[in-house]
Amino acid sequence: MAQVEIEEGLLEGEIVDNDYGGQFYSFKGIPYAEPPVGDLRFKAPQPKQPWSGVRQAKECGSISCQKSMTPPTEDNPNLVVGSEDCLYINVYSPEITPGSPLPVMVWIHGGAFETGCGNDWYYAPELLIRHGVIIVTLNYRLGLLGFLCLDTEDIPGNAGLKDQVLALKWVKKNIGSFGGDPENITIFGESAGGCSVAFHLISPMTKGLFKRAIAQSASCANYWSVALEPREKALKLARQLGCYSEDDKELYEFFKTLPVDKLVPVKLPIYLAKKGYELDIGAVSEKQFGDNERFFYGDVYDVLRNGIHEGIDVITGYTEDEGLLAFHNVKLDKMCELSNEYPEFFVPRNIAYNLSLREQFEIGRQIKNFYFSNGLNANDNYVGLLRYLNMEMFVYGIVTGAKFFSSNNKNKVYFYKFTCKSERNIATHIFGTTEIIKDRIPVCHGDDLMYLFQGKLLFPDKIDMNCDTFKMIDNVTKMWTNFAKFGNPTIDESLGVEWPTFDPEEQKYLEIGNQLMLGSGPEKEDVDFWDSIFKKYLPAHIAN
């Protein structure tokens, strides 16, 4: 019988057959907080109160309000799906009464802090759970509901990240009931989820809640991780929606009572939004109000320089073609037209924010000359544009984050470059990017997820366990779960390689592809170029 008792009450789940061997216990749609509605909108989440009787835990809970990926309908013309009542968690365990407690892996989903969920149509546990770990996934508030900030006590910001903190506290408190070890919790996430993981490494609210961390395809050192001027942008949004007051209480009442579909606005493509053209969604440096707990405060690079939580080992890295994500979100011809006329368009906003227009123009020219020495147009420079987007959006910040993480010799850091290529890679299925990379299978932002989870929407069928693709899946899932179990991703000799630790000088890494290969200095030429710019204009933002 799949029934457990946690502090809040009894849960009844299911016993599920795993296509890849054995069975596991599934408990889905467990509320870890009170619904963040009414007076709790924008506030820190409140723990779930106990219930009476047996609560069914066989269906995933509601996702956070977000834009739908499907065309509008008569019933839903505004493309909004989900619910404000979205703070649910899912637990999948190989055994709820094991001989000794099992390692726990808590997944934080990505989606630019605006879309996505932890539900099993994206993140089914079958591929990971076969290695003897408990998998936990969760939903948290997204978009303005999770990240609006007025710099006030009523709307201080970071609500979505505080949801994650409460979920981690819930896991720490309750995971023993599912057979898990509360002293051996690994958090892992990708994209905005990877950025979240990195913030948990430095947040004062998360000390003692986890033992290890895996930040995939993002870091809190990426320029888009922190929202700039959140109050000013919130005031602008209020005016756009019909509220012209600047009184804090009036603004709070306005936003608190606003219909949800007004808080899930139609926005510019992600890349343009992150360049500062519209309200950006991300973490904020919180102000102190009384004795309130702050998730994060100060300059993120200063906080990183002071060190992450001591003793937390980290895996971090990137996929070969991260920037393909932007090709899906940007109108290339328009972007190229803009950047030909205004080279400052190439300048990351964390640099641009601190410099004059003349300095921005000069840096933009340097970037343009480095990546597009033959000029820039949409037809002839896809390769240069992809290389630029890889670095500007993702890789430089990820490498910088790894340097900060490894600056404390009490923290081991393992760095990777993900290059697995198979029919599971999603770029050609979804983005239609064959014109950009013609000589190989692209390895896009998010492709690593296809080798960790049995995503039921994209690849619902069982994979042949004897094929080459499954060998790559087995390698990746084995390394991730080895890390969660032992702190060493390649402790298993069957992998045939020893993954060296990363340090700011040698920068050793593992290339995770169809073969496992060692390397050093990830994207060194590009990283050195960006280091030279930051050293001149924004030296506080580099790790060395």
SS3 for 84-107 is CCCCEEEEEECCCCCCCCEEEEEE
Active site residue 191: yes
N-to-C CA span, the chain:
55
- Per the annotation, the verdict on 525 as an active-site residue is no
**What whole-number distance in Å separates Cα of residue 191 and Cα of residue 167?**
19
- In DSSP notation, 286-303 reads PPP-TT---S--S-HHHH
Say which of 62, 93, 191, 219 is annotated catalytic: 191
In the block, residue with structure tokens 């690849």: 459
| Distances 117 to 121, 133, 185 between C-alpha atoms, Å | 9, 21, 20
* CA 421 vs CA 470, 473, 497: distances in Å: 12, 11, 19
Task: Please name the residue that has the structure tokens 């200063």.
Answer: 302
CA distances from 519 to 81, 90, 220, 409, 498 (A): 44, 37, 24, 21, 12
Annotated catalytic residue within 286, 322, 344, 523? 322
Q: In terms of DSSP bridges, do strands 14-17 and 9-12 run parallel, antiparallel, or are they unpaired?
A: unpaired
67-71, long-range: CB within 8 Å, 24+ apart, which pairs?
67/114, 67/115, 67/264, 67/266, 69/115
- In terms of Cβ atoms closer than 10 Å to its own Cβ (0-12, 13-18, 19+), residue 208 is exposed
At 494, list the tokens: 């069957």
Instruction: Evaluate whether 219 touches 189 at the Cβ level (below 8 Å).
Output: no
Cβ count near 500 (within 10 Å): 16
Catalytic residues: 191, 322
